[in-house]
Amino acid sequence: MIMKWRILIVSIVFIFGHLTFFSNEYPPEKNNYGVNYHLALSINPGPNNGYLNFAIISESNGRILSTKFITVAEFIRVAMGKQTSRANDIGVNMFEKFGIKDCMYKYDSTDCKKKNEMNIHDLWTLRYNRNPNCPPNCYPTPNMIVQGYSQHKSHPSWPQLQILQQYGIIYMNDFFYGENLFKLIADFQNTSWINTYINSTE
């Protein structure tokens, strides 16, 4: 009887050990494929006739696998952790995490309208030297920014592009995504960063 119990115990230990080995050897399916989801933004003419494209992208080893375009409102909700998404599955407020001012994304609030500060829609200034929605001889709407920060009409200078490449892109049409995107937004609200960008001419 004692021998049978010993054999049973040894068998259980053996099976458990193998299960532990295989669970370590073969992690969950998500990790096997190494696919990550991120909030993303590109600064170029898009499908909605705008000059900023907001999206959720899937990525593996730096290669974008899929792109789902979303509205700026959805982008902000996901970034704030108020909308469930694989791009922010822990629900952290990415704006707060990177020290981004409220008015950068709460631009419709009464306080922010009074302050007239830069907001996320103004990122077009990094690519264009004049607001594409306000060609010469146009009548700017109240609080509209007309002058962009780019050296050229529709693309930055090479030194300016090199600054933007520090945030994960190679070409101007590429998506900024993940933490690099929020680092860019955080730096964009910094006057000294803007001045450096403006003065990085060819």
Which letter, b or e, does each residue of 145-173 get, where b requires 16 or more Cβ atoms within 10 Å of its Cβ? beebbbbeeebbeeebbebbeebbbeebe
Helix axes 158-165, 191-198, angle to 10 degrees: 140
What are 66-111's pLDDT values in tens digits? 999 999 999 999 999 999 999 999 999 999 999 999 999 999 888 8
Query: What 3-state DSSP class applies to 15?
Result: helix
Would you state the torsion angle of the CA atoms of residues 178, 179, 184, 190, taken in this order, to the nearest 10 degrees? 150
Phi, psi of 55 (to 5 degrees): -155, 165
What are 28-67's pLDDT values in tens digits? 334 436 999 999 999 998 766 589 999 999 999 999 999 9
pTM of the model: 0.81
Do 201 and 159 form a contact (C-beta atoms < 8 A)?
Answer: yes
Do 118 and 104 form a contact (C-beta atoms < 8 A)?
Answer: yes
Instruction: Give the position of tokens 């002058």.
Output: 147
